[in-house]
Amino acid sequence: MRSLDIAGTGMQAQQTNVEVISNNIANMTTTGFKRRRAEFQDLIYQNLRRVGSNSSDTGTIVPAGAQVGLGVNTAAIYRIGEQGNLQQTSNSLDVAIQGTGYFQVTLPSGEIAYTRDGTFGLSPDGQIVTADGYVVLPGITIPTNAQSVTINADGEVQVTYAGQTVPATVGQLQIAAFPNEAGLDAQGSNLLLQTAASGNPVTGNPNSPGFGSLMQGYVETSNVNVVTEITNLITAQRAYEMNSKVITACDQMLSTLTNLR
């Protein structure tokens, strides 16, 4: 019976759906996390009577035909890039992007990764780095004798020295934007890598046309909406149960056939 396999694909699809939702809920407090959404598509169809075929020698055409679907398949798991809330941290090196863009980070392999997590600190050499110690491009060093650090909305990093009232600029943060943010490859640790699907990054100064602005002393929280995720979880659970009932009904039908005398 086709319905056994069809319902099986439905249960597998809803299992994937629940896994995506559970990952969203697990990361509801992860800085810069973007929620995911599973998308599904129907599988190929078996033609019992092909639509548009001739039904007689006189050229009459079948108007509808008869097709039986063979189930559902996971098409994609999209990353929803809507802005998360900004949370104040009072840490002068924490920076949040308000709008479009990603911070650029140099990995130990030499690759450039991208992140919305602006939880930054200083390396032993005074460079601005991520929580894992990866250098934030373009590699800005804060002098050891600096009294305070200011990062303005345009990404300029300025420091104030003892006895001076005018701050000195020590670097300029740049952010990157992509034609297709959903095409970035998630690596964990709040890092993303460029792919052929994402397109090539376009870099620029924050607060310039096409790029978001920076807010010092803030971080971007996860954009997960708990109410929405719980609602989606209930919907997925009910869909899973309905597919399991189809399998139960098919089993009862097969049992009836095998018990015929």
CA angle 163, 165, 168 (to 5 degrees): 100
CA distance 42 to 58: 35
Closest by CA position to 152, among listed 132, 173, 138, 129: 173
Largest CA distance in the chain: 102
Domain ranges in the chain are 2-81+224-258, 86-220
193 token code pair: 């890598």
pLDDT by residue, tens only, the chain of 261 residues: 788 899 999 999 999 999 999 999 999 999 999 999 999 999 888 887 788 777 777 778 878 778 788 899 999 999 998 999 999 998 999 999 999 999 999 999 999 999 999 999 999 999 999 999 999 999 999 998 888 999 999 999 999 988 888 889 999 999 999 999 999 999 999 999 999 999 999 999 999 999 999 999 999 999 999 999 999 999 999 999 999 999 999 888 888 888 876
- CA 79/CA 186 separation, integer angstroms: 10
Answer for the pair 237, 1: CB distance below 8 angstroms, yes or no. Answer: no
Q: Are strands 156-161 and 121-122 parallel, antiparallel or unpaired?
A: unpaired
d(CA 176, CA 99): 12
Closest CA to 98 of 181, 182, 217, 179: 217
Q: Which residues pair with 22 in a beta bridge?
A: none
Determine the Cα–Cα distance for residues 247 and 135; give it in Å rounded to an integer. 54
CA–CA gap between residue 213 and residue 228 (Å, rounded): 28
Entry pTM: 0.84
Alpha-carbon dihedral sign for residues 226, 228, 229, 231 = positive
Q: Are 91 and 147 in contact (CB under 8 A)?
A: no
